[in-house]
Chains A and B, each alone.
Chain A
Amino acid sequence: MVCQHCQKNPASFFYEENINGAVKKYALCPACLKELQNSGEFQDAVSQWYQQSAFPFALTDEGIFTSLFANQPKMMPHEVRCDVCGMRFSDIAKAGRVGCPHCYEAFREELTPTVNAIHGGRTHVGKLPESASESKKAKQKLTQLRKELEEAIKEENYEKAAVLRDQIRTMESGGE
């Protein structure tokens, strides 16, 4: 990816900020980064360039997944990691593959354009696994119970809370 300021050198600094929902992304070469930091007009200037050339997802080479990430930033200092395998989205972009099944949930938003590009925006219509649908239901139930527990505590309904807590414990330990 080319530096968005000089349009010449390869960008090695990638930064994304989110202030009250206003997201700004930067991709700069070291020289331009320094120049902009010194000039004091860092934020506005960079965000302007960003808007002119967003990070596009492009299907350049059909079926080749990694190329979909060709324009993705290589490093973002603040990036979140998948809490199961520790992969960052930039690691996934580089490898062309996710680190664990949970990455699909952790980076759903980031992965959606790529998955849509590969699969034409369609969703699964094939068969469902018995085990997965059951464990999914269990997870949903657990989330529901935790919510109820929170409310019960808030309402100071400790009798109800105790029942809920026991139910949650039983489910967590694998029982019904």
Chain B
Amino acid sequence: MSWYDHSGPEKDVFVSSRVRLARNLEDFPFEGKLSPEQAKEIIAAVRDAFPAGDAYKFIDMSKINDIEALSYYERHYISREFAVKKSPHALVLQDQTGLSLMICEEDHLRIQCLSGGLSLRECYKTVSETEAMLSRKLPFAFDEKWGYLTHCPTNLGTGMRVSVMMFLPAFTLLNRMEALSTQLQKVGLVIRGMGGEGSRASGSLYQISNQETMGITEDNTLRKVIDIVRQIAEQERKLRASFDKPMQIRLKDRAARAEGVLRHAEMVSSGECIPLYADLRLGLALGMSTDMDLVKLDKMIFEAMPATVSLQQSGRTDDKLPDEMQRDITRAQIIRKMITP
């Protein structure tokens, strides 16, 4: 079971939610000044701060290979920098809550929680409880004026970053993204396209997050972000409903074709995967008749990525085929299995 196997509220517009807190231990230098021995000390201290037993899964990142590490990145558990990092670092996971804690990332601790749909409050509850449990055992670096002390001064204060991954095909098709981005900037939120430039390649997926971490409480940050992204979701739904009949037919046709390819193709490349996903997801939102559900479809954008596919491929490689071809075949098989009821 992975975090994205669970559904969540308002899935039609929200793919996922994430909350993370940056924390550092008082008596250790930051990355760059941190020796491998000190990094190991931090890892051991954090590990000891967790209760014994198997409620949490500990992963020593230096003991797994690059492909496995990148797969964690593709499935949003860790950052890219963390996946390719060479000095000692470790990961703590708890699949039923979606907790994912990076030890010795840019900050000593990055406590985060991932969850499906719009579920920021649930995510915050998990990270906040985890943080409270750890803070009883670990002295976190803190300053009365500047709050939690972080490696990069942009995270000072609450050290909290709240973000949602939104599916905004109507905004994208109607060229409203730039205007939205400008509006968001004015209220202190940042929007980034996922998976590359251009409306088709990006899959109409966007990550929206808060920028302010100082002079605002955790609760008000949540309230503000939830309020704004809800408004965006309302607008997106209105725009989707405003498509005229010919447009609706064209979009549903595109979705049906995407479904055909994803269900029947012998090979699917990583490049075509996301646009097909977006076409199909919009079709579902427009009421296309199909037996597919959004959780299974969303799973595709996490598990059909290169490193994750490579992991599935190992052991059943046909030596006569070129690597890339074999990977596209495996990807097609994974997707077929995933989206066929």
By a beta-carbon cutoff of 8 Å, the part of chain A in contact with chain B is: 63, 65, 84-87, 95-101, 104-105, 111, 114-115, 118-120, 122-133, 135-136
Contacts and interface: CB of A to CB of B under 8 A. Distances in A.
A130 B136 contact: yes
B149 A131 contact: no
A129 B211 contact: no
A101 B149 contact: yes
Contact of B33 (A87, A119, A128): A87
B31 to A, nearest CB: 8
Contacts of A115: 146, 153, 156
A130 B135 contact: yes
12 contacts: A85-B33, A97-B153, A99-B29, A105-B143, A118-B154, A119-B213, A124-B146, A125-B216, A131-B136, A131-B140, A133-B142, A135-B139
A124 B212 CA distance: 11
Contact of B160 (A114, A122, A126, A135): A126
A136 B146 contact: no
Nearest to B106: A97
B215 A124 contact: yes
Contacts of B142: 128-129, 132-133, 136
Interface in B128-152: 132, 135-149, 151-152
B16 interface: no
Which of B138, B157, B213, B216 has the most chain A CB atoms closer than 10 A to its own CB? B157
Classify the secondary structure of A's interface with B: loop
Contact of B30 (A63, A99, A105, A111): A99
B215 A125 contact: yes
Nearest to A122: B215
B181 interface: no
B214 A119 contact: yes
Contact of A101 (B24, B138, B190): B24
A63 B154 contact: yes
Per CB-CB distance, the 10 closest pairs between chain A and chain B, nearest first, are A122-B215, A124-B147, A101-B141, A132-B142, A119-B214, A100-B29, A126-B158, A101-B149, A85-B29, A99-B33
B143 A126 contact: no
A93 to B, nearest CB: 12
Contacts of B138: 131
A43 B147 CA distance: 41
A126 B145 CA distance: 11
A125 B156 CA distance: 11
A6 to B, nearest CB: 34
Nearest to B216: A125
A127 B158 contact: yes
A83 to B, nearest CB: 12
Nearest to B108: A101
B28 interface: yes
Interface in B1-43: 24, 26, 28-30, 32-33
